[in-house]
């Protein structure tokens, strides 16, 4: 209790995506436990923890798996992910932490999917493709979003134990074709090695690794990648503190807790902060009672960390997803409307004036109307547009990316101007 973590330790956040049943959770389960799967989702069951089965703490289960690396001893894993103490001990022992965020729910592009990609500060994407099925329509859609949000991504072919070498080569070729079609360069880790993958991974170059959670083939390669890949947004710690709230809940005896991923800066217990915007655009004064990270109490946490922050001076009902926490000295100007550059994905929909999708920006998910400057935008088009939230203001900043969807993902955008 109350131990202070070494905040120089690194923490990378990996978002997983891929067709349901292609082996996402199983792969993450085998990575974080170091145990092979029994072919029936045995390791995955470690991750399917319902909140009521887990001892309650401030940290909501935003991330669905965590493990770490000690620079000398190698991987640091938990014996039993159901136990809060095991999670906390991984945090304590590792020089680098790797958190997995499940960006995809059971149906393609649930709200949580988008929130996962845009609202978490992800460092890398991990797209799984099962060797038996190969890439599907969902695989393509998920890849499209990972690439559109410019996230360096690794493709893991899973279930290699289930197919012949011939079938595996065929799937590798299909994936390579898919990547080339999206203007990306595939890099086969089997052929070129881990070193090359670490050096060349970027938004343009996508390493492809063949794995099996049953035989553990390829998992040491992923370990090495996750141990050594550079943190992509490490510099953000110097900026002022900012966190978009993903969830809020009430913890008995503690009160309102806001959880999310710290976007920039550092927060400490006792800090005086602003919370908002409220419906009317105002912010209110709150204070940090305590901070938890993976069930581990910390005195301080910095950019990239997934945390639960217990707040004084506010009721849980007043803390909502999409609000931000900022230092008292900030002078935030929430907006109802902003200018964006939007790109319409290849769906058979054109976007006319007043088109009303749901906009997902950071942790905000809100109905908005879009007014393209050119009057309309066709699939594949990029152009400027005004975006107007229907019901209330949010804190929006230049350079932020968002996804808009209506049933399916329709497009992505970047905020270019927040002035009226």
Per-residue x/- marks for ligand GDP, 137-156, CB under 6 A? --------------------
> 214 Cβ partners below 8 Å, 6+ apart?
36, 37, 38, 39, 159, 161
- The verdict on 108 binding ligand GDP (CB under 6 A) reads no
Smaller CB distance to ligand GDP: residue 212 or 242? Answer: 212
Figure out which of the listed residues 22, 87, 297, 360 binds ligand GDP, where binding follows CB under 6 A.
Answer: 22
**In angstroms, rounded to a whole number, what is the distance separating the alpha carbons of residues 168 and 181?**
20
Nearer of residues 161 and 300 to ligand GDP, judged by Cβ: 161
Smallest distance from ligand GDP to CB 129, Å: 10
Binds ligand GDP by CB under 6 A, chosen from 11, 13, 17, 24:
24
Tokens of 122: 């992800």
**Spatial separation of the C-alpha atoms in residues 353 and 304, rounded to whole Å:** 37
Inter-residue contact 267 to 291 (CB < 8 Å)? yes
The region that residue 276 occupies, defined by phi over 0 for left and psi between -120 and 50 for alpha, beta otherwise, is: left
As measured in angstroms, the least distance from the Cβ of 42 to ligand GDP is 7
Interaction between residue 25 and ligand GDP (CB under 6 A): yes
Of 37, 141, 292, 320, the one binding ligand GDP (CB under 6 A) is 37
Residue of 11, 44, 294, 296 interacting with ligand GDP (CB under 6 A): 44
Provide the minimum distance between the beta carbon of 156 and ligand GDP in the complex, in angstroms, as a whole number: 10
If the CB atoms of residues 136 and 188 are measured against ligand GDP, the closer one turns out to be 136
Q: Are 241 and 265 in contact (CB under 8 A)?
A: yes
Q: Do you find a cis peptide bond into 277, omega within 30 degrees of 0?
A: yes
| Residues in 181-220 at the binding interface with ligand GDP, rule: CB under 6 A | 212-214
C-beta of 65 vs 322, nearer to ligand GDP: 65
- Tally the residues of the chain: 420
> Of 55 and 132, which has the nearer Cβ to ligand GDP?
132
259 binds ligand GDP (CB under 6 A): no
Q: How far is the CB of 127 from ligand GDP (least distance, A)?
A: 11
- CA 164-170-176 angle, 5° bins: 140
Q: Which is nearer to ligand GDP, 24 or 77 (CB)?
A: 24
* Sequence-ordered strand ranges (E) for 159-312: 185-188, 205-210, 242-244, 247-251, 255-264, 266-268, 272-276, 284-293, 296-298, 300-302, 306-312
Residues 155-184 that bind ligand GDP (CB under 6 A): 158-159, 161-162
Stretch that binds ligand GDP, among 34-42, 344-352, 357-365, 391-399 (CB under 6 A): 34-42
Q: Are strands 247-251 and 205-210 parallel, antiparallel or unpaired?
A: unpaired
Closest CA to 38 of 235, 298, 216, 279: 216
Residues 203, 212: Cα–Cα separation, whole Å:
25
How many residues of this chain bind ligand GDP (CB under 6 A)? 20
- Closest to ligand GDP by CB, 7 vs 45, is 45
Q: Shortest Cβ distance from residue 419 to ligand GDP (Å)?
A: 43
* Sheet with 124-130, side-by-side order of all strands: 74-76, 65-70, 96-102, 10-18, 124-130, 153-158, 205-210, 185-188
Q: Which residues contact ligand GDP (rule: CB under 6 A)?
A: 18, 20-26, 37, 39-41, 44, 158-159, 161-162, 212-214
């Amino acid at each position: 209790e109350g131990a202070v973590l070494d905040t120089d330790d690194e923490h990378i956040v990996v978002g997983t995506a891929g067709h349901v049943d292609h082996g996402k959770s199983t792969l993450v389960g085998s990575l974080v436990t170091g145990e092979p799967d029994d072919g029936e989702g045995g390791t995955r069951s470690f991750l399917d923890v319902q909140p009521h089965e887990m001892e309650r703490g401030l940290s909501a289960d935003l991330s669905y798996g965590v493990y770490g690396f000690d620079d000398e001893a190698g991987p640091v894993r938990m014996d039993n992910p159901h136990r809060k103490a095991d999670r906390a001990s991984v945090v304590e022992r590792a020089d680098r932490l790797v958190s997995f965020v499940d960006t995809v729910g059971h149906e393609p592009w649930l709200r949580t999917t988008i929130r996962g990609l845009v609202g978490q500060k992800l460092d890398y994407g991990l797209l799984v493709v099962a060797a038996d099925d190969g890439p599907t329509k969902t695989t393509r859609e998920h890849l499209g979003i990972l690439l559109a949000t410019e996230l360096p991504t690794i493709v893991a072919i899973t279930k290699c134990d289930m197919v012949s070498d011939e079938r595996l080569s065929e799937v590798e070729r299909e994936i390579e074709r898919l990547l080339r079609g999206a203007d990306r360069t595939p890099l086969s880790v089997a052929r070129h090695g881990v070193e090359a993958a670490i050096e060349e991974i970027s938004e343009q170059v996508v390493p492809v690794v063949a794995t099996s959670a049953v035989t553990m083939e390829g998992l040491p390669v992923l370990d090495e990648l996750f141990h050594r890949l550079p943190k992509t947004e490490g510099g953000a710690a110097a900026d002022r503190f900012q966190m978009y709230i993903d969830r809020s809940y009430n913890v008995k005896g503690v009160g309102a807790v806001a959880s999310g991923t710290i976007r920039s800066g550092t927060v400490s217990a006792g800090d005086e902060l602003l919370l908002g915007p409220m419906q009317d655009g105002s912010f209110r004064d709150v204070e940090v009672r305590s901070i938890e990270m993976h069930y581990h109490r910390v005195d301080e946490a910095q950019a990239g960390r997934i945390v639960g922050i217990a707040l004084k001076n506010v009721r849980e009902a007043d803390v909502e997803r999409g609000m931000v926490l900022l230092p008292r000295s900030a002078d935030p100007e929430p907006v109802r409307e902003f200018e964006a550059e939007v790109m319409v994905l290849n769906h058979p929909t054109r976007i006319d004036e007043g088109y009303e999708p749901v906009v997902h920006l950071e942790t905000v998910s809100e109905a908005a109307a879009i007014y393209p400057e050119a009057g309309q935008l066709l699939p594949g088009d990029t152009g400027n547009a005004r975006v107007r939230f229907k019901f209330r203001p949010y804190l929006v900043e230049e350079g932020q990316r968002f996804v808009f969807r209506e049933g399916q993902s329709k497009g992505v955008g970047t905020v270019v101007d927040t002035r009226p």
